[in-house]
């Protein structure tokens, strides 16, 4: 079950990371009235038939989760977006990749909470798969605007590895500082 919009972003980004992509590009923007995210990858893409099956909550390829009889990632995203005054769009081409965009009207009472953006970004940066994962964030509130970008390869160059606890602590602090609009700490 997805309890926050961050859960949806994590799930969709994980799909891209597992699609044989060399590059996954995640953009997250938020204003007082809208939350929007776009995930682009250069992975295997989907044919119209595969895409149709991906929207069916009672279908699963059985590859990602061998014992699961349902695949709920895209169906949950579509349902959440449509029931909360938002929408979604997917463009996917076999052998070329996929672009998924979803948006949510934050004034609608049925919109799940946004959730922990820095924690979500940390989680997606830890996914294996693509050679490069880029996360872009735009946050516009009243008279303040924060924009930041992280690249997995650059963070690994600076931190050395995500496996060391000190590196994860620095990564967490860095992501929280970016979200808060503080100066870089790494």
Residue 143 resides in a domain:
yes
**Do 44 and 95 contact (CB within 8 A), yes or no?**
yes
**What pLDDT digit, counting tens, does each position of 146-168 carry?**
899 999 999 999 888 888 778 88
Residue 164 resides in a domain:
no
Would you state the pLDDT for residue 47? Answer: 86
Residue 49 resides in a domain:
yes
- HSE-up of residue 84 (Cα within 13 Å, Cβ side): 26
Query: What is the domain extent for residue 46?
Result: 5-151
| CATH number of the structural domain spanning residue 85 | 3.30.565
3-state secondary structure of 106: coil
Residue 130 resides in a domain:
yes
Q: What is the DSSP letter of 169?
A: H
Beta-carbon contacts of residue 186 (< 8 Å; ≥ 6 apart): 155, 158, 159, 170, 174
Q: Quick one: CA dihedral 124, 39, 90, 92, positive or negative?
A: negative
Residue 16 resides in a domain:
yes
**Do 86 and 107 contact (CB within 8 A), yes or no?**
no
Residue 172 resides in a domain:
no
Burial of 110 from C-beta contacts in 10 A (0-12 / 13-18 / 19+): exposed
**Do 73 and 90 contact (CB within 8 A), yes or no?**
no
**What pLDDT digit, counting tens, does each position of 172-186 carry?**
888 988 888 755 444
Q: Specify the pTM.
A: 0.86
């Amino acid at each position: 079950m997805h309890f926050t919009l961050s859960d949806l972003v994590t799930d969709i980004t994980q799909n891209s990371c597992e699609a044989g992509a060399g590059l996954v590009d995640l953009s997250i923007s938020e204003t007082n009235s809208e939350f929007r995210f776009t995930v682009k990858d250069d992975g295997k893409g989907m044919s119209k038939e595969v895409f149709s099956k991906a929207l069916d909550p009672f279908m699963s390829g059985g590859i990602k989760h061998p014992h699961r009889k349902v695949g709920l990632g895209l169906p949950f995203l579509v349902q959440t977006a449509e029931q909360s005054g938002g929408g979604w769009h997917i463009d996917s081409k076999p052998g070329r990749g996929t672009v998924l965009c979803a948006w949510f009207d934050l004034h609608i009472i049925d919109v799940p909470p946004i959730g922990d953006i820095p924690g979500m970004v940390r989680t997606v940066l830890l996914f294996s798969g693509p050679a490069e994962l880029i996360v872009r964030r735009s946050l516009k509130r009243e008279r303040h605007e924060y924009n930041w970008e992280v690249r997995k390869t650059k963070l690994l160059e600076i931190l050395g590895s995500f496996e060391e606890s000190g590196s994860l602590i620095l990564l967490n602090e860095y992501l929280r500082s970016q979200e808060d609009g503080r100066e870089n700490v790494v």
